[in-house]
Amino acid sequence: MEPLIDSIVQKLHHLPQPKLNEVLNFVEFLTWQEKGENQLDVSESTAEINPTFENIADRLAEEFAKSVGTNLPLLSDYAVSRAGIYEEHP
């Protein structure tokens, strides 16, 4: 296992800072997933979002925007209103 880790670390030295941040976010995600955590790390005194989570959410939003393009149909005001959401429920 050590030779693999050494090889990864050696390759990390050649990456630019933004790519290193992506790798760090991915490793933190894998660690979070491995632990089976299903809640955000929220402090008791404030409801601050973990900066790593915010970075991942921003990247996901950017990727989604790239995949749908600029001609995304918008929902009407009625569609996002309470009446529109629950119209099929008694």
Cβ–Cβ under 8 Å, residues 49 and 40: yes
Question: What phi and psi, each to the nearest 5 degrees, are found at residue 36?
Answer: 75, 25
5-14, 16-25, 39-48: segment of lowest average pLDDT: 39-48
| pLDDT greater at residue 28 or residue 49 | 28
CA 7 from centroid of its chain's CA atoms = 27
Tell me: pLDDT of 45 over 70.
Answer: no
**Per-residue pLDDT tens over the stretch 46-63:** 455 667 888 888 888 888
**pLDDT tops 80 at residue 42:** no
| Tokens at 57, concatenated | 């959410």
